[in-house]
Amino acid sequence: MPYREKKVEKLYYQIGEVSEMFSEPVSTIRFWEKEFDILKPKKNNKGNRLFMQEDIRNLRLIHHLLRERGMTLEGAKKYLKGNRDEADYRIEIADTLRNIRAMLLDIRDEIK
């Protein structure tokens, strides 16, 4: 198996980078920030939003609930209040399975 470098994780991500990560418009990320109290990006002196890893995890969770599970904003808010630990666990499992799938596809492509 070929050598793979570990993905470098930044301390702060700008809103444009976050927008690209989730394939969502910048305005949607700003809207989610207002709607969900778990999103608290830092702001620099210019007022630019700086998202930390915790914010990215929370956005991943919100994106999963709204886009992949098809919940409404109110439904997602209620779900996060009552089932936050379960939601985090499910997201972690889904991410792990995606990584395993990608690795298996890489192996398949190397065999061909």
Tell me the DSSP string of 10-48: -S-EEHHHHHHHHT--HHHHHHHHHH-TT---EE-TT--
Contact 106, 99 (CB under 8 A): no
Region at 86 (left for phi over 0; alpha for psi -120 to 50; beta for the rest): alpha
Q: What is the pLDDT along the chain (112 residues), one digit of tens a residue?
A: 455 666 667 888 999 999 999 999 999 999 999 999 889 999 989 989 999 998 998 998 899 889 988 999 999 998 888 877 777 788 788 888 988 999 999 999 998 7
pLDDT score, position 20: 94
pLDDT score, position 79: 87
> What is the CA 70 to chain-centroid distance, rounded?
16
The rounded distance, in Å, linking the Cα atoms of 57 and 43 is: 18
**Domains of the chain, earliest start first:** 13-82 (1.10.1660.10)
pLDDT score, position 68: 85
pLDDT score, position 81: 85
pLDDT score, position 36: 93
pLDDT score, position 6: 63
The rounded distance, in Å, linking the Cα atoms of 86 and 73 is: 18
Contact 91, 49 (CB under 8 A): no
Backbone angles phi, psi at 79, to 5 degrees: -60, -45
